[in-house]
């Protein structure tokens, strides 16, 4: 994935393995303009770039994943009906809400996709 190569290229630049941005971008096959902005600090990594637009913070997502793993280990079923209220509970605890006080099917689907590996390796 491009993001992983971007991080490797950043580490290589920071360690001094490459003298300039274009060499590192070529070596790691990452887009030069994006990599240059990343090195200059004007572009954030993909997982941080839109964090203010996310429903849950990374810490809240981790809490939800841990809770889901706990349920799985306890042999309790995990489905949309169990996840939705938990997400709303997490949001309310922080004084936040969603438009209709629930989360969409697509949000749950995307959450599963994003945390698939974490949920499988309980």
**Along the 122 residues of the chain, how does pLDDT read in single tens digits?**
888 999 999 999 999 999 899 999 999 999 999 999 999 988 887 777 777 778 898 899 999 999 999 998 888 878 888 899 999 999 989 888 777 778 888 999 999 888 888 777 55
Q: What is the pLDDT of residue 121?
A: 57
Quote the percentage of the chain above a pLDDT of 90: 46
Helix (H) / strand (E) containing 43: none
d(CA 36, CA 31): 9
What integer pLDDT is reported at residue 122 of this predicted model? Answer: 52
Q: What integer pLDDT is reported at residue 26 of this predicted model?
A: 96
- Burial class of residue 51 in the structure, from the number of CB atoms within 10 Å of its CB (0-12 exposed, 13-18 middle, 19+ buried): exposed
What's the whole-model pTM score?
0.61
């Amino acid at each position: 994935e491009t993001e992983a190569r971007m991080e490797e290229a950043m580490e290589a630049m920071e360690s001094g393995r490459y003298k300039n941005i274009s060499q590192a971008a070529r070596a790691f096959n990452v887009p030069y303009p994006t990599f240059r902005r990343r090195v200059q600090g004007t572009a954030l990594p993909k997982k941080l770039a839109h964090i203010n637009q996310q429903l849950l913070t990374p810490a809240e997502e981790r809490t939800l994943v841990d809770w889901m793993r706990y349920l799985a280990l306890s042999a309790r079923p995990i489905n949309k009906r169990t996840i939705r209220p938990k997400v709303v509970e997490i949001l309310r605890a922080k004084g936040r809400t969603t438009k209709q006080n629930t989360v969409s099917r697509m949000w749950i689907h995307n959450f599963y996709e994003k945390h698939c590996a974490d949920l499988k390796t309980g």
